[in-house]
Amino acid sequence: MPEDIVGYVLSGSSSTLVRFQLTLNGEKVLQEGMLVVVGRDKRIIARVEALKPVNTLFTEGDEWSEARRRGQMPRIDVGGYVVAEAVILGESQPGGGLGEPGRPPWPGEPVYLLGKKGLQVVLGLSHDEPGVVWFGELVGYQGAGVPLSVENITMHLGVFGETGSGKSYAVGYLIELLSRIPLGDGEYSAFPIVVVDANGDYLDYHERFSRGERIGEYRLVLRLVFPSSMARYKPYTRLLTISLDGFSAREIAEFVIAYRSGGVEINELQVSLLERALREFEGIYGFTELFTKRLSELLDAIDSLSRGPGAMFHAQTGRAVKSAVEKLYQDLVKGYKILSIEPSLDEKLIDEVTFSPSLVILDYSPEGAPGIPLPVKQLVLAYLARLLYKRFTDYKTRGDERYLGLVIEEAQNYAPNPRTYPVAWSIARDYLSLIATQGRKFGISLVLVSQRPSFVDPVVVSMLNTFMVFRSAPDDVAYISKATGGLPQPLREKLTRLPRGVALVSGQMNLLGFPVLVRTGSRSAGHRMGRTRVVEALKRLKRAGGNE
């Protein structure tokens, strides 16, 4: 019997489901979720959904029932076998890829375990296939990765899972793969990426680049930190500054009032007053100049709209608006110093990053953004999203085709679902929704990373077409299944108990065309923020006398 045969087809199989009895070899190697090739011509591909051990001597009501009840069952090693049920995923086509099977498997046909190179053969892909990166390895297949289409990354990607399930590590690993994309003829290039790094999960790449090590084909790995960060003195690090000039008067008014209140609900009268005051300066000063150098003129405009007989707004409303404007000035201009007439995060940087593919890290970690509140981080991301949308629209209009991935950690804080996750007010949500619905046409790809996908804006989630789902909370499983367009029941049941580093990969980037379980590969850069050393730390403290 050939060693690669794991079973033989039983009667009752169809063009969608195959039942087969395992061989002794199959009983040793086969696991639920693994892939098999059915038939002598090795063309039908199926995924094992269930393994069911059978023994005719151990059935309900058999002659050994009383003996088992009394604990007197003698040892019997005969009469047992295992039946597998596998869903047929498709039939390999002469030109590569999978199509609908032309017939159901016949009883008695052999079933083979799909080898690690079997996927390449079935799909007609080489290891260095242009535009394809091989992610991790399929569970149960050492060395056999899942092929991901770089072409389809613009359809947006969602990476979901509980804290500690391996999301950020996997995204870092994906970035490494995207840093060296085969182009054919021995050439490689990198996909430009901007990462909004909430916890410092990607700073290892910046550290490596700063030491002179290459990160694939990236020409630059740049870190942007807030001016209050001590990390601003490190190599390849710039201060993060933005401009307000890209926003409308209404958007700025909403932000200023919401920033002061810190809540979901904002006072509409106050917003209307500030909006009217800002509009008086349109075409005269930029909004950044108004807040940084001509604040007194803005305060005078607010006074003129809220004082004296016939004023359009009540004096109390005017005082509240002035207080909000002054708070914004003290925090963003005097304190955090992130407003600038010449911002570091501008069109020139986007041009540089996309023309010479680079990795940019917006450091939102405690080291890169010390004491920076969430509304300010939201404002910066809103500014970035609007900048990207405008710039990529310009690229498309003039025929200058470019691409960029925007990776957002803790995505629920910037595109929140107001029904389930009211995190104060988020100016960023509207712009991220715009990119989610229209950005793919211009070359912008969203990669959203979140512990709770149900907390992310449903409009944004509905636009995601590829998913990497790690161990998830039970409350999120139904939501994830719906968002992905439906998952097989056995895979749904596994989501709450996946091991760390194992994910379900589904959607447009997955060239297999069906959901698979994949173990993340090893990053070449470390992951210090995701690593814990509890025992080692306790031992060090013990030796230092901390437990005496």
pLDDT, one tens digit per residue, over 312-369 is 899 999 999 999 999 999 999 999 999 999 999 999 999 999 999 999 999 999 999 9
Check: CB of residue 302 under 8 Å from CB of residue 274. Answer: yes
Read off the pLDDT band of 546 (50, 70, 90): low
Q: Which value, in Å, is the radius of gyration of the alpha carbons in the chain?
A: 29
Please give the Cα distance from 281 to 290 (Å, whole number). Answer: 8
Sequence ranges of the domains in the chain: 5-114, 146-242+343-534, 249-335
**344 token code pair:** 């570091």
Mean pLDDT of 250-259: 86
Read off the pLDDT band of 1 (50, 70, 90): very low
How many other β-carbons are positioned within 10 Å of the β-carbon of residue 78? Answer: 7
Please give the Cα distance from 338 to 413 (Å, whole number). Answer: 20
Check: CB of residue 449 under 8 Å from CB of residue 408. Answer: yes
Helices within 402-471 (DSSP H only): 428-438, 458-462
Please give the Cα distance from 325 to 97 (Å, whole number). Answer: 60
Which is more confidently placed, 209 or 511? 209
Mean pLDDT of 215-219: 96
- In CATH, which of 3.40.50.300, 1.20.1250.20, 2.40.50.140, 1.25.40.340 is domain 146-242+343-534? 3.40.50.300
Q: What pLDDT does 485 receive?
A: 83
Please give the Cα distance from 370 to 381 (Å, whole number). Answer: 17
Please give the Cα distance from 346 to 520 (Å, whole number). Answer: 34
Please give the Cα distance from 483 to 478 (Å, whole number). Answer: 9
Half-sphere exposure of 34 (CA within 13 A, CB side): 24
Check: CB of residue 193 under 8 Å from CB of residue 407. Answer: yes
Task: Classify 374 as helix, strand or coil.
Answer: helix
Read off the pLDDT band of 529 (50, 70, 90): low
Mean pLDDT of 281-296: 93
Please give the Cα distance from 393 to 401 (Å, whole number). Answer: 10
Q: What is the pLDDT of residues 476-513, one digit of tens each?
A: 888 898 888 888 777 888 899 999 999 999 999 998 88
Please give the Cα distance from 80 to 7 (Å, whole number). Answer: 14
Question: In whole numbers, what is the pLDDT of the chain averaged over residues?
Answer: 88
Q: Is 534 a residue whose pLDDT tops 60?
A: yes
Q: What is the 3-state secondary structure (H, E, C) of 22-52?
A: ECHHHHHHCCCCCEEEECCCCCEEEEEEEEE
Q: Which of 66-70, 74-78, 184-188 has the highest mean pLDDT?
A: 184-188
DSSP notation for 266-299: --HHHHHHHHHHHHTTTTTS-HHHHHHT-HHHHH
Which is more confidently placed, 126 or 121? 126
Q: How far is CA 416 from the centre of its chain?
A: 15
Q: What pLDDT does 121 receive?
A: 72
What lies within 8 Å, CB to CB, of 304 at 6+ separation is: none
Q: What pLDDT does 263 receive?
A: 56
Please give the Cα distance from 9 to 282 (Å, whole number). Answer: 75
Length of the chain in terms of residues written: 548
Return the sign of the alpha-carbon dihedral for residues 479, 485, 490, 495. negative
Check: CB of residue 332 under 8 Å from CB of residue 244. Answer: no
